[in-house]
Structure formats: structure tokens, C-alpha cells
Amino acid sequence: MIAYGEFRSGYSGDREDTRLVFYGLRYILETYLLRQWTLEDVEKSEKFYRTHMAPGRTAFPFPKDLFVRFIEKHDGYFPIKLEALPEGTCVNAHVPVYQITSTGEFAPLCTYLETLLTMVWYPSTVATLSRRARDVLEAAFEQSVDGGAASPLLPSRLHDFGFRGCCTVEQSVLGGTAHLLSFDGTDTLSAAYYAQFELNDGEPIGLSIPATEHSVMTSWPSERDAILNMISHFGDGIFACVMDSYDYAKALSEVVPSIAEAKVGAGGYMVLRPDSGDPVETVLAGLEAAEKVFGVDVNKKGYKVPRGCGVIQGDGINLHKLSAILAAVLQKGFSAETVAFGMGGGLLQKVNRDTLSFATKLSHVVYADGTPADIMKNPVSDAAKISFPGALAVKRVHGIPTVFPAEGGHVSPEENMLRVVYDHGPVQNDWKSFAKLRQQVAEEWTALPKAANVVSKPLADKVETTRHKKHV
């Protein structure tokens, strides 16, 4: 039995850009599949399934003997083969991300593991969302920043604010680490720690700056006192202060001028953070206040850069709002480098499996009498949900990952991008450092076209042949 997982579409209403970044399978492998399961686990499972039923109904079927046999025969490891695209691969929609194969008496494990493996949708979707945000920022930097998208400031322009909105620390690690493929700004310390020590040999991956929040600001006798305290401790570096604890407009017009001398004397960089109101208006108000109080320089591209002061907008940010703010900032003559963004719920929580339509579908079976069959889903009511038949392979055609039938000699083992990462137990995996993954993502994402036909002619022919078969 063979099944595969794929992303079927891009963002709703945005059919031009269907590029995806795959990330997270390593976490699932190391956390679940590389665990050696025991007979005690089987006993607990059997007890659970005996009670997993409606009152008076038949107990939920649990193939206890199957699990006992794979523990005894395979040292507690799932007897399946799992192939997957390398971490950090960028693909268009409909390219298989992984392929599961299970044989003989263990064939049911193929669909049994579907739920677990399908969970790669989450870090992959966050990684894609984060990279899409980087596209928007890169365009703005190219227009208005000296050095363009190559500016060292760009990787810090989208900051992960999502830790406290996650439902578990595990979610924060998966989503927060995916974001770090494209940016280094994060307050999701769980992800930064995991990426640094588990994925990058201890070399740092994420960064942040000292910053106040409302409890800090309101605990001082005044906002001015709170800001002067920040200047005394962090004024020679970069620091941020939230400015809307009481009256944002008054804070800009009265408080900021009152601390200007101390801030300039310290020599550092102050980031103003509005946290309520219309995001476009509050960002512009912050930049205009910075211009008035600290003055501006005009860069080589003709855009204004306030001296030692900028704005970060961390409330209500999504791709649409980020784009709108940047457009307004540039229209007012300010450089994109003067504003940063914090994305919390919009980055780590406001996504789901349907955002990019991730699904795992059966593609090949061998029946009890030994008859093989390539199978596919082909709903008349929704052509977008069609799936591919048979065992699959992926190879680059003119640089684009393209799907082929695994049989027929279309793809050599060396060309196949679906690499074996687990085969009835641990296999040797050459995991790249996180720093190398970042580099790979940057190179592949830029090279990949926004939309592409990823179905090879041999596979298209097979789809047409299979879809017209009658399955009784």
C-alpha cells in the first residue's frame, strides 16, 4: 500500500503564487517514528479502544496482533518506508512532500500513520507565509533602501510575536522555527533555542532586542520615567518602547520630545511601538514624530530615514496589512528600513490545514489475491481534489520539481528528490544545519517560478488512464 502527501493550492484568492516551503518532518520522525514502541504501549492501546465507542455499541476495532508482531519482529519500530523531500525544499502545489509504503500484513499502517504525517502541514504553511512576507518586504527594500533586498536590516523586519498565542510549547517550536527559515527576528524563545541547539550546532539563529510592554510602562509613575529607565540601561543599543498605554498621540507629541536629549546623548536606536488604532495611521504618525523630534537623512534612493529612531507595528499584522503599511510608508517618502513588523496570531495561529490544502491520499494497493492497482481520488464535484495514481517520484525539470510515475525509468534513483528518511527503523540521514537550510530556501524560492505545471507527460497519461477505470 502506498500513500503520499501534497499541498494542493496556494493562498485563497491568490492563484499566481503557489510556492511552498517544506519543513518539520524531522521533528515528527525524531519525536514519534524513531521511538521504540513496547508491548506495554499495545496493552494501553487495547484498553483504550475497548472503551472508545458509543454506549452499547461494538468496541472500536484495534488490530492488537498486528502491533504485537511489529514490536516483536521489528524491534518496536513501525515497519514502513517513508520517503520525503529534503528539508527546506521549495515546490509548487501538487508536488508530493512525502510518500509512505507499507507491505504485506502491515499494509494498514500506511493509512494508520496518515494523521500524524499530515501534521507537517503546519510548519510548512507557517514557513510559506513567512517567506511570502519576506517577498513583500524585499520589494519595498529594493525600492527604498540603500543596498535593496541585500540590506542586512531585512532579516529583522518581521519579528515573531506568536509564542503566547500558541496552544502548546511544541506548536511554538514547530511554527516559530519555520519562521526562522526566512527571518532572524523572534520573541518565540522556544523556537530560537531549539533551532540553535538542536538544528545548528549551537550557533545562534534568532535575535531580539530589549523592549517594554504595557505592564512595564504603566508600573512607572509616567511613560517618560519608563522610557528614561530604558535609555539608562539600553540607550547605547537598540531598544523598543510601547507607546499607547494611555494616549498614543500625546506620547508622540509630548513624551518623545521630552526624552530626546537623553536618547540622543546615549547614541542608540529607539523603536516606537504603537499597539492600538489603525495600523497604517499609527505607523505614519510614529515616523512623522520621529522626523520632527530627531530629524531625518535622505538616502541614495531619495527616501527619508529618521535619525536613530524607527517604528515597529505588532498589532493586527497579516500579509495584507503588512503590504498596506509599506505602501503608505513609501508613499509618504519614508524608507522601508524605518519600519519593522511583529506578527503573532497572524503568523502562528491564523493558519490551518486548508490554508494550503494539505492532504494525504492512497495511490497504490495490492489486493489480497495479489492483484496490484493504481488508484486515485477523482470527485466529479471538485476537480481540485483529484489525486495522483501509483508510486511517485520527483525530479527537477528545468529547475522545477516535477512529478513522475516511479516506474518506467523516467527518474533515476540519483534524480529522485523523494529520499528515504525512514525504512522499517532508523536510517542514516544527513540533516543540514539550519544555517544551510536558510541559504537553500533563499536560493530555491527565488529561482522557482510563481506557478508551474508540475505534472509530467507520463504521469498525465497515467492519470487519464486511471481516472476512467471502473472500480467495483
Instruction: Please compute the mean of the pLDDT values over residues 388-405 and round it to a whole number.
Output: 97
Range of the domain at 250: 132-348
Report the pLDDT value the prediction gives residue 83, as an integer from 0 to 100: 97
pLDDT band at 10 (very low <50, low <70, confident <90, very high): low
CA atoms of 260 and 240, how far apart (whole Å): 14
CB 463, CB 375: distance < 8 Å: no
User: What's the order of all strands across the beta sheet hosting 158-160?
Assistant: 158-160, 339-343, 309-313, 269-273, 238-242
Cα 95-98-102 angle, rounded to 5 deg: 135
Residue 41 lies in a domain: no
pLDDT band at 16 (very low <50, low <70, confident <90, very high): low
pLDDT digits (tens, 9 = 90+) for 65-112: 999 998 999 999 999 999 999 999 999 999 999 999 999 999 988 888
pLDDT digits (tens, 9 = 90+) for 335-380: 999 999 999 999 999 999 999 999 999 999 999 899 999 999 988 8
CA atoms of 264 and 308, how far apart (whole Å): 8
Instruction: Please compute the mean of the pLDDT values over residues 389-404 and round it to a whole number.
Output: 97
Domain termination residue (choose one: 311, 328, 348): 348
User: 150 with 269, same domain?
Assistant: yes
190-195 contacts, C-beta under 8 A, 24 or more apart: 190/163, 191/160, 191/163, 195/434
pLDDT digits (tens, 9 = 90+) for 165-212: 999 999 999 999 999 999 999 999 999 999 999 999 999 999 999 999
pLDDT band at 391 (very low <50, low <70, confident <90, very high): very high
pLDDT digits (tens, 9 = 90+) for 304-341: 999 999 999 999 999 999 999 999 999 999 999 999 99
Report the pLDDT value the prediction gives residue 451, as an integer from 0 to 100: 87
User: 265 with 408, same domain?
Assistant: no
Domain CATH for 381? 3.20.140.10
User: 182 with 319, same domain?
Assistant: yes
Report the pLDDT value the prediction gives residue 138, as an integer from 0 to 100: 98
User: 340 with 195, same domain?
Assistant: yes
User: 111 with 204, same domain?
Assistant: no
pLDDT digits (tens, 9 = 90+) for 214-263: 999 999 999 999 999 999 999 999 999 999 999 999 999 999 999 999 99
User: 291 with 435, same domain?
Assistant: no
User: 249 with 183, same domain?
Assistant: yes
Report the pLDDT value the prediction gives residue 92, as an integer from 0 to 100: 92
Residue 421 lies in a domain: yes
Place of cell 511613560: 223
Residue 273 lies in a domain: yes
Instruction: Please compute the mean of the pLDDT values over residues 437-449 and round it to a whole number.
Output: 94
User: 318 with 415, same domain?
Assistant: no
What letter does residue 334 receive in the DSSP assignment?
A: B
CA atoms of 6 and 97, how far apart (whole Å): 5
Cut 0.75: pTM above it: yes
Residue 333 lies in a domain: yes
Domain termination residue (choose one: 296, 316, 348): 348
Give residues with Cβ within 8 angstroms of 127, minimum separation 6: 21, 22, 23, 178, 179, 181, 182, 441
CA atoms of 336 and 323, how far apart (whole Å): 11
Report the pLDDT value the prediction gives residue 250, as an integer from 0 to 100: 98
Domains in the chain, number? 2
Single-letter code of the amino acid located at 293: V
Report the pLDDT value the prediction gives residue 14, as an integer from 0 to 100: 54
72 to 37, 42, 45, 101, 338: CA distances (angstroms): 10, 12, 16, 20, 62
User: 294 with 416, same domain?
Assistant: no
Domain termination residue (choose one: 348, 379, 397): 348
Report the pLDDT value the prediction gives residue 184, as an integer from 0 to 100: 97
- Percent above pLDDT 90 for the chain: 83
Burial profile 8-37: b = 16 or more Cβ within 10 angstroms, e = fewer: bbbbeeeeebbbbbbbbbbbbbeeebeeeb
Residue 403 lies in a domain: yes
User: 242 with 262, same domain?
Assistant: yes
Q: For the chain, what is the largest distance between any 2 Cα atoms, rounded to a whole number of angstroms?
A: 85
Q: 250 is written with which cell numbers? A: 500625546
User: 165 with 248, same domain?
Assistant: yes
Domain CATH for 160? 3.20.20.70
Sign of torsion, CA 111 113 117 119?
Answer: positive
User: 154 with 266, same domain?
Assistant: yes
Strands 309-313, 81-84: parallel, antiparallel or unpaired by DSSP? unpaired
Compute the mean pLDDT over every residue in the chain, rounded to the nearest whole number.
Answer: 93
CA atoms of 409 and 386, how far apart (whole Å): 24
pLDDT digits (tens, 9 = 90+) for 151-171: 999 999 999 999 999 999 999
Residue 47 lies in a domain: no
Report the pLDDT value the prediction gives residue 19, as an integer from 0 to 100: 76
